[in-house]
Structure 1
Amino acid sequence: MPPHEGGTLDAGSPGTQPEDLGTATGLGLSRIDQVERGAEDMSLDDLLLIAHVLDVELAELVAD
């Protein structure tokens, strides 16, 4: 997993922005944006990292 700056973001907060997620995970805004647009798939490691930073279970992150 890439290093991240630590801490968590509030997943339920309407103010959580892709920039914040990119910074907190160390993945960067470009990577988050590409995944959001469906231009790239996300690895399991990246999903686990995002779930950790958002302080949610992986199942919550990928649920329909």
Structure 2
Amino acid sequence: MARPTPQAQWQWGDNTDFKGFFMTLPGKQESLVFLTNSANGDKLTTEVLRLFFGPGQYWAPQWLAAE
């Protein structure tokens, strides 16, 4: 039985004053990496994802904000 392709895969990084985020959409063969030199850089995640991948619901930034 074939395994379903995940809708999204993501990873984030937090080094105090530097933030990073990576997301790939395997079904679309698209990916994005962005790095910031700000402790508040993670607040841009949803806006950057919508800019590059288009409108939609992106759960990763909401999950990270809940921590």
TM over 0.5, shorter chain: no
TM-score, length-scaled by structure 1: 0.29
Give the number of the structure whose alpha-carbon radius of gyration is greater.
2
> Which has the larger share of helix?
1
TM-score, length-scaled by structure 2: 0.29
Higher relative contact order (CA 8 A, sep 6+): 1
> Which has the larger share of strand?
2
